[in-house]
Structure 1
Amino acid sequence: MKPNYLIDIAQWRDRPGLRGIPSICSAHPLVIEAAMLRALKEGTHLLIEATCNQVNQEGGYTGMTPADFTRFVGDIAEKTGFPIDNIILGGDHLGPNPWKNLPADEAMAKAEAMIRAYAEAGFTKLHLDTSMGCAGEPVALPDETTASRAARLAAAAEDAIRGRDGIAPVYIIGTEVPVPGGALEELDTLEVTAPEAAVETVDIHRQAFEHAGAGEAFSRVVGAVVQPGVEFGNENVIPYDRPKAAKLSQSLTKLDGLVFEAHSTDYQTQDALRDLVVDGFAILKVGPGLTFALREALYGLDQIAAFLFPDARSNTLAEVTEAVMREEPANWGKYYHGSPEALRLQRHFSYSDRIRYYWPHPKVATAVEELLRLLDGVTIPETLISQYLSGSYERVRDGRVAPQAKALAIAAVDTVLEDYFAACKG
Structure 2
Amino acid sequence: MHALHSIFAANKAGQQQGIYSVCSAHPLVLKAALLQAKQDHSLLLIEATANQVNQFGGYTGMLPADFIAFVKQLATEVGFNPEHLVFGGDHLGPVCWQELPAAEAMLKAEDLIAAFVAAGFTKIHLDTSMRCADDPPVLSDQLIASRAARLCQVAEENALRTNRAGSLSYVIGTEVPPPGGVSELEQGIVPTSLDSVQATLLAHQQAFVRQGLSAEVWSRVIAVVVQPGVEFDNSRVHAFDAKKANALSAFIASQPGLVFEAHSTDYQTEAAYHALVQGHFAILKVGPQLTFALREALFALAQLEQQLLPAAECSQLQTKCLELMQAKPAYWQKFYQAQDTRLSELLLYSYSDRIRYYWPEPELQQAVQRLFDNIRHLEVSQPVLHQFLPQHALPETGSELVNDPEQLVIRHIQLVLARYASACGLRYQQEQSS
Give 3-state SS (helix, strand or coil) of 2:342's partner.
Answer: helix
Equivalent positions of 1:411-422 (< 5 A) are 411-422=411-422
Partner of 1:348: 348
Partner of 1:375: 375
Q: Say which is worse superposed, 216-225 or 292-301, in terms of deviation.
A: 216-225
Give 3-state SS (helix, strand or coil) of 1:240's partner.
Answer: coil
Q: Is the 8 A contact 1:382 1:403 kept in 2?
A: no
Partner of 2:112: 114
Distance 1:192 1:320, change over 3 A: same
Residue-by-residue CA offset, 1:41-94 (whole Å, 9 max, x unaligned): 111110000000000000100111101101110110010111011000101000
Q: Is the 8 A contact 1:188 1:238 kept in 2?
A: no
Equivalent positions of 1:347-366 (< 5 A) are 347-366=347-366
2:42 corresponds to which of 3, 19, 44: 44
Length, aligned pairs only:
424
Q: Is the 8 A contact 1:317 1:364 kept in 2?
A: yes
Distance in 2 (alpha carbons) for counterparts of 1:395 and 1:16 = 40
Q: Is the 8 A contact 2:23 2:287 kept in 1?
A: yes
Q: Report deviation, 1:227.
A: 0.2
Partner of 1:13: 11
Distance in 2 (alpha carbons) for counterparts of 1:344 and 1:9 = 43
Q: Is the 8 A contact 2:12 2:280 kept in 1?
A: no
Distance 1:17 1:403, change over 3 A: farther
Partner of 2:148: 150
Partner of 1:233: 233
Give 3-state SS (helix, strand or coil) of 1:7's partner.
Answer: helix
Partner of 1:183: 182
| In the alignment, structure 1 residue 23 sits paired with structure 2 residue 21 | yes
Give 3-state SS (helix, strand or coil) of 2:229's partner.
Answer: coil
Give 3-state SS (helix, strand or coil) of 1:260's partner.
Answer: strand
Equivalent positions of 1:118-129 (< 5 A) are 118-129=116-127
- Structure 1 unaligned residues grouped into runs of 5+: none
Q: Is the 8 A contact 2:131 2:139 kept in 1?
A: yes
Give 3-state SS (helix, strand or coil) of 1:54's partner.
Answer: coil
Q: Report deviation, 1:368.
A: 1.0
- Structure 2 unaligned residues grouped into runs of 5+: 427-434
Distance in 1 (alpha carbons) for counterparts of 2:122 and 2:68 = 11
Q: Say which is worse superposed, 264-273 or 216-225, in terms of deviation.
A: 216-225
Distance in 2 (alpha carbons) for counterparts of 1:270 and 1:21 = 14
Equivalent positions of 1:196-345 (< 5 A) are 196-215=195-214, 216-313=216-313, 316-345=316-345
Q: Report deviation, 1:255.
A: 2.1
Distance in 1 (alpha carbons) for counterparts of 2:377 and 2:197 = 54
Letter in 2 for 1:174: G
Q: Is the 8 A contact 2:36 2:418 kept in 1?
A: yes
Give 3-state SS (helix, strand or coil) of 1:44's partner.
Answer: coil
Q: Report deviation, 1:199.
A: 1.8
Distance in 2 (alpha carbons) for counterparts of 1:8 and 1:214 = 25
Q: Percent identity between the aligned chains? A: 46
Give 3-state SS (helix, strand or coil) of 1:49's partner.
Answer: strand
Q: Say which is worse superposed, 202-211 or 308-317, in terms of deviation.
A: 308-317
Q: Is the 8 A contact 2:141 2:199 kept in 1?
A: no
Q: Say which is worse superposed, 305-314 or 104-113, in terms of deviation.
A: 305-314
Q: Is the 8 A contact 1:274 1:423 kept in 2?
A: yes
Partner of 2:91: 93
Distance in 2 (alpha carbons) for counterparts of 1:228 and 1:38 = 26
Give 3-state SS (helix, strand or coil) of 1:162's partner.
Answer: helix
Distance in 2 (alpha carbons) for counterparts of 1:60 and 1:417 = 25
RMSD: 1.8
Letter in 2 for 1:361: E
Q: Is the 8 A contact 2:315 2:371 kept in 1?
A: no
Q: Report deviation, 1:163.
A: 4.5
Give 3-state SS (helix, strand or coil) of 1:407's partner.
Answer: helix
Q: Say which is worse superposed, 135-144 or 169-178, in terms of deviation.
A: 135-144
| In the alignment, structure 1 residue 76 sits paired with structure 2 residue 74 | yes
Provide TM-score, normalisation by structure 1.
0.95
Give 3-state SS (helix, strand or coil) of 2:4's partner.
Answer: coil
Residue-by-residue CA offset, 1:285-322 (whole Å, 9 max, x unaligned): 00000010110000001111122222453651001100
Q: Is the 8 A contact 1:55 1:62 kept in 2?
A: yes
Distance in 1 (alpha carbons) for counterparts of 2:143 and 2:276 = 29
